[in-house]
Amino acid sequence: MPLAGHMGLRLQAEWGGCMKLKVMVLLLSAALAGCVSTRDPFIEAPSKVVQSNRSAEDIDYCLANHYAVVHPAVRQRRDDGSIRVAFRNVATGWLRFAVNLVPDDEGTRVEFWKGQDGFEWVEGCL
């Protein structure tokens, strides 16, 4: 019996070491994936640009009520009056989509950056 108990401890110690390595690799890959997904979406050219006759504040409010309930949004009001909004996935932190709402004489120019979701999420608020 003591020999079997000793073997069990040895196997447990080896498994524990292997498990620690697996956990470390998993955490490292998650950290690297997080770094890649947190890039600024507004650096690239928008996927789509449309014009709306609604104000930027109305569109922002609509998006917050319809989408931010499920996915957190990061909002940035800029000096030129535009509003930048980036919606991220709760579980992964990856970009769902981003919009830049730019007020102009005709209403609001809506610049859209596609992430995991398409333009239909924004279209309902225009």
pLDDT at res. 54: 93
84 and 22 part of one domain: no
Question: Do 47 and 33 share a structural domain?
Answer: no
Yes or no: say if 55 and 107 are a contact pair by the CB < 8 Å rule. yes
The pLDDT assigned to 35 comes to 46
* Residues 47 and 31 placed together within one structural domain of the fold: no
Q: Are 111 and 95 in contact (CB under 8 A)?
A: no
Number of domains in the chain: 2
Each residue's pLDDT tens digit, 61-82: 888 887 766 667 888 899 999 9
Neighbours of 33 (CB within 10 A): 13
Distance, in Å, from the CA atom of 117 to the CA atom of 125, rounded to the nearest integer, reads: 15
| Bridge partner residues of 99 (DSSP) | 85, 112
64 and 109 assigned to the same domain: yes
Taking 70 as the pLDDT cut, the residues of the chain under it are 1-39, 68-71, 116-118
Give me the pLDDT at residue 102, please.
Answer: 95
Q: Which of 113, 124, 109 is nearest to 66 (CA)?
A: 124
Residues 68 and 106 in one domain: yes
Is 27 found in the same domain as 55?
Answer: no
Same domain? For 49 and 27 the reply is no
The per-residue pLDDT for 42 is: 75
Domain span including residue 33: 1-37
Q: What is the per-residue pLDDT for 122?
A: 79
Assess whether 48 and 30 both reside in one domain.
Answer: no
pLDDT of residue 36: 45
The pLDDT, as a whole number, for residue 47 is 86
The C-alpha angle 96, 84, 98, rounded to 5 degrees, equals 20
> In this predicted structure, what is the pLDDT of residue 27?
64
